[in-house]
């Protein structure tokens, strides 16, 4: 199963991708996480990407496509994957088509998690992340047991640099102009599944699972 999770910033793509990845034992490939890792490690890709990420802009297509290509060719992606945060432009979608063709695979579905603008802002302002295990919390919706401390490994949680108010506005604008056209792109290809994201995490997961379970067995079977 080759799934794309789509939606505006903080729609809950990573949260849902992580849950799906556990159910089907397939990797969760999140371009935002991969880029942040490169930034933390100070790699040449990370240094280049940071210039864009700090301003809420998209990192150049060629750089992101290279990262994704590397991960989709890995052995652990042979039985499928959940893509999160990619593609984000029509040109990235075209590159993904080429990559799928080369791998002899096809995108199974694009799950579009729809969330209102007010909810996006609330989710972003409440998001906290564990620097050790990358677990995502939210001070309003799924807070850690002890404020600012990861339940699993005791690390101090942090807030992403690009979750600051000025950058968030730009990320939403960029989504509307550069990424949203992909909704029509994938709808035309009959791959788009609309999911209402304005519900609790478990309820959104249940709706996604309901769709996945309704598909023929070949859809979710290992490649
Ligand atoms: P990226 O990390 O992909 O950011 P994003 O798309 O803006 O998405 P987020 O990570 O903000 O949110 P999410 O939808 O995963 O939500 P989450 O599950 O965390 O990209 C960051 C930057 O990297 C970009 O701006 C760009 O510069 C660069 N980049 C990345 N990919 C790129 C690409 N392909 N091309 C070019 N540049 C690229 O949830 C959010 C919060 O809400 C959490 O606190 C969570 O606990 C909570 N929550 C989740 N679901 C629910 C729910 N149902 N109810 C209540 N709370 C919820």
Note the pLDDT tens digit of each residue in 198-209: 999 999 999 999
Residue 105, phi-psi category: left (phi > 0), alpha (psi -120 to 50), beta (remainder):
beta
- Which band of pLDDT confidence, cut at 50, 70 and 90, is reported for residue 92? very high
59 alpha carbon – ligand 1 mean position (Å)? 15
The residue to which tokens 């397939």 are assigned:
26
**Ligand 1 in reach of 123 Cβ (< 6 A):** yes
If pLDDT is split at 50, 70 and 90, which confidence band does 222 have?
A: low
| 25: region left, alpha or beta (phi > 0 left; psi from -120 to 50 alpha) | left
Q: Which residues partner with 29 through β-bridges?
A: 83
Q: Per-residue confidence at 72, pLDDT binned at 50, 70, 90? A: very high
pTM equals 0.94
Pocket test for ligand 1, best of 32, 47, 64 (most atoms within 8 A of CB): 32
The answer on pLDDT for 152 being more than 90 is: yes
pLDDT at 223 over 60: no
Site to substitute for ligand 1 among 31, 170, 201, most atoms within 8 A of C-beta: 31
pLDDT category of residue 184 using cuts at 50, 70 and 90: very high
Number of continuous H segments (helices) and E segments (strands) in the chain: 10, 7
Question: Rounded to 10 degrees, what is the CA torsion of 169, 170, 172, 178?
Answer: 170
Q: What is the mean pLDDT of the chain?
A: 94
Q: Where are the alpha helices (DSSP H) in 162-216?
A: 165-174, 181-188, 201-214
Digit-coded pLDDT (tens) for 136-147: 999 999 999 999
Cβ–ligand 1 distance for 126 under 6 Å, the answer: yes
Q: Which two tokens stand for residue 13?
A: 């793509």
The answer, yes or no, to whether any atom of ligand 1 lies below 6 A from the CB of 179, is no
């Amino acid at each position: 199963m080759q799934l794309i999770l789509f939606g505006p910033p903080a729609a809950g793509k990573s949260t849902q991708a992580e849950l799906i990845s556990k159910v089907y034992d397939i990797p969760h490939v999140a371009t935002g996480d991969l880029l942040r890792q490169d930034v933390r490690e100070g790699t040449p890709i990370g240094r280049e990407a940071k210039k864009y990420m700090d301003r809420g802009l998209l990192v150049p297509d060629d750089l992101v496509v290279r990262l994704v290509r590397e991960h989709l060719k890995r052995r652990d992606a042979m039985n499928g994957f959940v893509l999160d945060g990619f593609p984000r432009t029509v040109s990235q979608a075209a590159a993904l088509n080429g990559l799928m063709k080369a791998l002899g695979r096809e995108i199974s579905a694009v799950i579009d998690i729809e969330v209102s603008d007010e909810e996006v802002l609330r989710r972003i302002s409440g998001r906290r992340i564990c620097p050790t295990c990358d677990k995502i919390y939210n001070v309003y919706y799924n807070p850690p047991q002890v404020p600012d401390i990861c339940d699993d490994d005791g690390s101090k949680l942090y807030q992403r640099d690009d979750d600051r108010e000025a950058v968030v506005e730009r990320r939403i604008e960029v989504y509307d102009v550069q990424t949203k056209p992909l909704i029509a792109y994938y709808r035309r290809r009959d791959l788009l599944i609309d999911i209402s994201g304005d519900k609790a995490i478990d309820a959104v997961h249940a709706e996604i699972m309901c769709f996945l379970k309704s598909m023929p067995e070949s859809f979710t079977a290992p490649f």
